Amino acid sequence: MIPVRVLLADDHALVRAGIRALLEGLEGVTVVAEAGNGGEVLELARKHRPDVVLLDISMPGLGGLEASALLKQELQEVRVVMLSMHANEEYVLQALRAGASGYMLKDSATAELELALQAVVQGETYLSPRISKQMVEGYVQRVGGEQPKSDNLTPRQRQVLQLIAGGHSTKEIAYRLELSVKTVETHRAQLMDRLQIRDIAGLVKYAIRNGLVTTAK
C-alpha cells in the first residue's frame, strides 16, 4: 500500500464525515484536510500539497470541474478523483477534460476507494466499473458495427490500452497479462508515442472513441 495524503472536498458535512471514516480505515491513507467548497479546495491544496484530492463534482460557488482544472494548472502533481452521483458519459468526459485522474460514483462499493487511490497515485486513471460499462455501451450504440480505427496498434498494445481504459493499474495489467511491470510501462510509452497522446486520460478517451474498452472484469 503506497502512503496517500488526501484532501477531501464535499459541501455536505455528513457526507464528508462518512467518507473520512472510510478513508481513515484504509492502511497508509491520511486525510490532511477537508473542504466544503471549491475555493477552500484550492487554498488547502496549496497549503497541504496532498497526493490526491477527492472532489465532489457539484459544490456551491466554484464547482468541482472548475476546481479540478485550476488544480491541474497550479499543482500538476496533485491527482484528482471526482466524486459524483452522475453516471452519464458527458459528466465523465468533462471531468477527464478538467484534469481528473479518476471518477467514482458516490454509491460505489467501499473497496473502490482504495483501488481508486492506489491507481491514481501510480499515474493511472480510475473509472468506477459501472461508468466504464456505460461508456462502452454508449459508444457501441452510437457507432453500431463500425470497426475500430486502431489497426496501427499491435494486439498486445490493444490489450494494454483496454486495461488502462478500464482503470487498471500498471501492476494489475502486468499480473493479468503475465508481463513485468517494466514491460507494461514500455507498452504504455509506445502507445503514447504512436498515438501522439501525452497522458492517461487521453488514452482512455482514445480507447472509448475507438471501441477498445472491454467490460470484462
Domain boundaries, the chain: 4-121, 133-209
Q: Provide the whole-model pTM.
A: 0.65
Residue 102 CA to residue 98 CA, distance in Å, equals 11
Residue 108 CA to residue 98 CA, distance in Å, equals 22
Per-residue pLDDT for 215 more than 50?
no
Question: How many Cβ atoms sit within 10 Å of the Cβ of residue 137?
Answer: 12
In this structure, of 9-13, 77-81, 85-89, the range with the lowest mean pLDDT score is 85-89
Q: Which fold has domain 4-121?
A: Rossmann fold (3.40.50)
Q: How far apart are the first and last CA of the chain?
A: 22
Please give the pLDDT value at position 147.
43
Three-state DSSP at 24 gives helix
pLDDT band at 14 (very low <50, low <70, confident <90, very high): very high
5, 55, 98 from 118: Cα distances, Å: 11, 16, 20
Please give the pLDDT value at position 148.
44
- Nearest one of 48, 3, 5, 50 to 27, comparing CA atoms: 3
Contact call for residues 188 and 172 (beta carbons, < 8 A): no
Quick check: do 4-121 and 133-209 share a fold?
no
Domain at 133-209: CATH architecture: Orthogonal Bundle (1.10)
Contact call for residues 212 and 136 (beta carbons, < 8 A): no
Instruction: Give the containing element (helix H, strand E) for 127.
Output: strand 126-127
Rounded mean pLDDT of 24-34? Answer: 94
Q: What grid cell was written down for 156?
A: 498486445
Residue 217 CA to residue 213 CA, distance in Å, equals 11
Segment 153-206, tens digit of pLDDT: 778 888 888 888 877 888 889 888 888 888 888 888 888 888 888 778 778 878
Contact call for residues 81 and 120 (beta carbons, < 8 A): yes
Query: Cβ-count burial of 152 within 10 angstroms (0-12 exposed, 13-18 middle, 19+ buried)?
Result: exposed
Complete edge-to-edge strand list for the sheet that includes strand 79-84 = 29-35, 4-9, 52-56, 79-84, 102-105, 126-127
Q: How far is CA 41 from the centre of its chain?
A: 18
